[in-house]
Amino acid sequence: MPRLILFNKPHGVLSQFSDEGSGRPTLADYIDIPGIYPAGRLDRDSEGLLLLTDNGKHQARIADPRYKKPKTYLVQVEGLPDDAALAALQNGITLKDGPTLPAQARRIPPPDIWARVPPIRYRKSVPDSWIELTITEGRNRQVRRMTAHIGHPTLRLVRWRIGEWSLDGLDLGGWRDA
């Protein structure tokens, strides 16, 4: 039975176990389990659920877009997306690398989650809001590019769920076996 670890990755942590000489935090600063590897990636400036496994086939099945595991993100965006902006996400939009698949998108109240370190930059003249966005692809910085495309740049990005696995009950920087 493959081992599967759920990790709540803090902002600024690299989705790898080493980064020789850079001084940047990596997974090794949080998880001391030999022989496990990330199943997919999460950008350094993103937070939230990262899955790790000790089995290459399991890793590929989780990370490969062909298997279309839905990924749900809590996204703090600049501005207040209207129904038309959300409909664009729901119908799929065309990015520089081609059209996206339709997504699930809805406005949500600010989630009750940990404070980000460092905090996002607040601007008195520009409101912000939160959306929940579920996609089945995994292109490079896709969520950020999608929200920018509809005129609402991402300020904070938290991956909350991948398939049946979620961050429910998992503290920032914490991990547990699935």
50-59, 69-78, 143-152, 162-171: lowest mean pLDDT where? 50-59
Q: d(Cα 169, Cα 136) in Å, to the nearest integer?
A: 24
pTM of the model: 0.94
pLDDT tens digits, one per residue of 146-167: 999 999 999 999 999 999 999 9
6-15, 18-27, 151-160: lowest mean pLDDT where? 18-27
**171 classed as catalytic:** no
52 to each of 5, 113, 175, how far by Cα in Å? 5, 22, 10
Domains and CATH numbers, the chain: 4-65+164-177 (3.30.70.580), 70-162 (3.30.70.1560)
pLDDT tens digits, one per residue of 24-33: 999 999 999 9
Active-site position among 19, 29, 32, 43:
43
**Residue spans of beta strands (DSSP E) within the chain:** 4-9, 37-38, 47-53, 71-78, 94-95, 98-99, 104-108, 128-135, 154-162, 165-166, 175-177
Task: Please report how many Cα atoms fall inside a 13 Å half-sphere around the Cα of residue 12, on the Cβ side.
Answer: 12
